[in-house]
Amino acid sequence: MIPMLEIVARQQGLDGAHEFRFCKERKWRFDYAIPKIKFAVEIEGGIFKRGGGRHNRPVGMIKDMEKYNYATLDGWAVFRFTPAEIRHNVEVIFFNKYLERVLGGEKRA
Predicted confidence (pLDDT) per residue in 92-105, tens digit: 999 999 999 887 76
Q: Does position 69 have pLDDT exceeding 80, yes or no?
A: yes
Q: How confident is the model at residue 51 (pLDDT cuts 50, 70, 90)?
A: low
41: helix, coil or strand?
strand
Residue 37 is classified by DSSP as G
Q: Does position 109 have pLDDT exceeding 90, yes or no?
A: no
Q: Could you give the count of Cα atoms lying within 13 Å of 17 in the half-sphere of its Cβ?
A: 11
Predicted confidence (pLDDT) per residue in 21-31, tens digit: 999 899 999 99
Q: How confident is the model at residue 75 (pLDDT cuts 50, 70, 90)?
A: very high
What CATH number was assigned to the domain covering residues 3-103? 3.40.960.10
Q: Does position 17 have pLDDT exceeding 60, yes or no?
A: yes
Domain residue ranges of the chain, discontinuous segments joined by +: 3-103
Q: How confident is the model at residue 61 (pLDDT cuts 50, 70, 90)?
A: confident
Neighbours of 105 (CB within 10 A): 8
In whole angstroms, give the CA distance from residue 37 to residue 90. Answer: 19
In whole angstroms, give the CA distance from residue 93 to residue 88. Answer: 10
- pTM score, two decimals? 0.86
Q: What is the largest CA-CA distance in the chain?
A: 45
Average pLDDT, the chain: 89
